[in-house]
Amino acid sequence: METEKIGFIGLGNMGHPMAKNLEKAGFPLSVYNRSSEKAENFKEKSTVYTQIPELIQNNDIIFTMLTDDHAVKAVYKEILKSDISGKLFIDMSTISPQVTSELSGAVKIKEASFIDAPVAGSTIPAAEGTLIIMAGGETKDLQRAMPYFEKLGKAVKHLGENGKGIAGKLSINYFLSAIYQGLAETVLFADKLGIGRSAMLEIINESASGNGATKVKTAMLIKDQYEPAFALDLMLKDILLAQNAGADFPLSKVLSETYQSAHDEGFGKDDVIGIINYLKK
């Protein structure tokens, strides 16, 4: 199975390093990205396609790592133009349970297979191949995907049938959205009380309240620069997806309102922890 031909669609902040890991592992790889410049440095070792149907026709297992429902639907509209029987589609984007269900149905009706496999971990774990992959799909399809998952992540959690991967991902990102807003508010509060950011973040990271998420955002908070690793707009998308999927709690209302207002005031393209600039106002 390891000689199957692999296609990867979506070379953004996450998809690019993920596809690079598959390339480095020596799998026969083809890539596509809507904006062609992001595919440039795959030209030497992999095949770069400028049309989705061509990539589909020439590959067996196709990964997608795209922004949102809209992007995934647009790409699958192209995918479904081809004969896809026998192929395996693995969508690693964070999208809605409804679109996941629509896509898995559309793929299966054409005698192909589908796994929803969104990930926990940002651009550094994507580059290091240490993502946590939450998968929904059939065991035989996961077995087929495993050689590739092993190069992308440090753990694969098979959570059940199609849709369960997305369910796990919406749950973990709900928690993450609360951590980031809490971290930004805490740092601002400490600023107000005259505690320097480096000192405060050291305390947070060394204490029980520190975690991977607080550590990964520490450098940005100290530099006070928020180049996006995970854009605030993507977090807003995930909170709204969680709310639509039933996250109806006191915090969910506050979180969606805060991230929505930060987006409305122009902070959406910054990193998610750039929410601190919105909260500071």
Burial group, residue 256, by CB count within 10 angstroms (0-12, 13-18, 19+): middle
Which of 169, 217, 223, 237 is labelled catalytic?
Answer: 169
Query: Counting contacts by CB under 6 A, is residue 66 touching ligand NAP?
Result: yes
81 an active-site residue?
A: no
Range list of H helices, 81-196:
97-109, 123-128, 139-152, 164-192
Q: Which amino acid does the sequence have at 248?
A: D
Residues 18-37, one symbol each (x = binds ligand NAP by CB under 6 A, - = not), give: ---------------xxx--
Q: Which residue has the tokens 């098979």?
A: 158
Which of 7, 8, 12, 116 lies at the binding interface for ligand NAP (CB under 6 A)? 12
Query: Contact 115/89 with Cβ under 8 angstroms?
Result: yes
Which two three-digit tokens encode residue 22? 């598959």
In terms of CB distance, is 55 or 200 closer to ligand NAP? 55
Which residues does 124 contact at the CB level (< 8 Å), separation at least 6? 216, 229
With binding defined as CB under 6 A, does residue 157 bind ligand NAP? no
State yes or no: residue 90 binds ligand NAP (CB under 6 A): no
Measured from the CB atom, the residue of 65 and 275 that comes closer to ligand NAP is 65
Q: Does 7 bind ligand NAP (CB under 6 A)?
A: no
Task: Give residues in contact with ligand NAP (CB under 6 A).
Answer: 10-15, 33-35, 38, 65-68, 71, 74-75, 93-94, 119, 122-123, 229-230, 234
